[in-house]
Structure 1
Amino acid sequence: MTEETLLREQICTLAKSMFDRGLTGGSTGNISSRTPDGGLLVSPTGTSFGRLDPARLSRFDAEGRHVDGDRPTKEMPLHSAFYDTRSQAGAVVHLHSCHAVALSMMPDVDEDDFLPPLTPYGIMQLGRVRLLPFFRPGDPAMGEAVRGLAGKRSAVMLANHGPVVAGKDVEAACNAIEELEATARLAMLTRGLSPRALSEAQVQDVVTHFNIEWDT
C-alpha cells in the first residue's frame, strides 16, 4: 500500500469509530488530512462518518485545487482557515457531538475559554478553546472567524453547531476532539453541583510541564 492509501483507510476507520460511538450522527461532521505531497484528503459533502469510502474521498492538490473524488464538504472554508493559519496543522475534524453542543448553549459559558479545567487532559490536548458565535452551516464567515484568531487556537466551538479541532495528524486531531466532547460531557453532568475544578496553579503546572500552547 502507498502512504496515501494507508491515510485514506485511516481517515475512514477513525471516522467510523466516532460514528459508531455516537460522536456525530447521520451525515454530519467532516474530516480532512494533509497528504504526503502537501495536498488534502477531505470527506465528501453529505456523507456519513459511518460509511466513508476511501476511494471516494475528495482529493486536493498542493495548490488547493480539487483534482479527484467526490465533491468536498461545504465546510471547506473552515478547514482551509486552520491549514492557512496553523503551519503545524496536519488534519482537521469537525463533529456535531451532543454534550459540546449542549454546553455551547449555556448562557454563562466563557467565550474565550469554553471548556472548564475539570481534568488535565483537555488542557493537554486542546489548550484554550474559543467559543465562536452561531453561523449558518457552510457560511464562509466561519472560516473568517477562525482566521481572525491568527493561528492562536487549535480548537474552536461553533455555538449551537459543533466543535472543530486541528491536530498534527488525523489521529491526534480525532483524539483531541474526543477529549473536547468528554470534557464537555463532564461539565454538563456536574453543572450546578459546584465541582472542584483544577486551580489556576494546577492549570499552570500542567501547561508548563507539558509545554502546552496556552494563548492568553
Structure 2
Amino acid sequence: MSRISVRGFAVASATAVTTVGAVVGVASGSTLPANDNNDTAAAPDTTLLADIPTGQQAQVQTASLSQQADVQAAQADASAKKDAEAAARIQAAKDAKSKKDAAEAKLKKEREAKEAASRSEARSKISYTQQSSYSVSQIKAMAQSMMASDQFQCFSNIVEHESGWNYRATNPSSGAYGLVQAYPGSKMASAGADWQTNPATQIKWGLNYMENRYGSPCGAWSYWQTHHSY
C-alpha cells in the first residue's frame, strides 16, 4: 500500500477550500481581498509519495500474497522431498540389513548342516564291543566321546528326563523306547540294527535327531524346557 504525506494532504485540502470560497465570492459579487503576500505565500507541499489507485493496491496485495503462497508451497515441496529421501535411505538400509541377515542365516544353517553331517559320519565309525549290559557311567562315557564337550550337559539333561539313562526304558503308553525315547523305537534302526540292546546306537541316533531338528543337543534342550518334549 502507498503512503500519503499527512502534511501535504492538509495543505492541499486547505488550498482547495480557499479556491472554492473565492469562486463562491465572485459569483455572489463580493470582492476578494488583495493578497499583499502573494509572492511569499507558502506553496503546497509537493513532496507527496506517488499514490497507487485503490484498485491497483488490491492487485498488488493479491500478487504479493500469491507470491508468498508460491514461496511457501515451494518450501513445503522441498521439505517433503527431503523427508521422502531420508525415509527412502532409512528403508534401503533396513532392506540391506535384512538381506544381509538372511544371507548370513542361510550360510550358518548350511554350515551347521555340513558340520552335523560330518559329525554323524564320524560317529557312525565309532564302535564299541557289544556287552550284555552297561552301567550308567559306561553309557555316559560313550555319549561324551561322540559330541562336543559343551553339548554333553544338554544331552544329559534330556536323557535324564526321558529315560534316567536306562537304554531299555519303554513308555507303556506310547511305546517310546531307549535312552532318548524314540517313538517309535524302531526309528533307531537307521543307526544300527542293534538299537534295542546297544546304547551306543541309541546315542548316535539321538544326536543325529537333535542336530538335524534343533541344530544341537543344547537347541533340543532349550525346546524341551518349554514344551517338555522334543
TM-score by length of 2: 0.24
Greater fraction strand: 1
Using CA pairs below 8 Å that are at least 6 residues apart, which structure has the higher relative contact order? 1
TM-score norm. by structure 1 comes to: 0.25
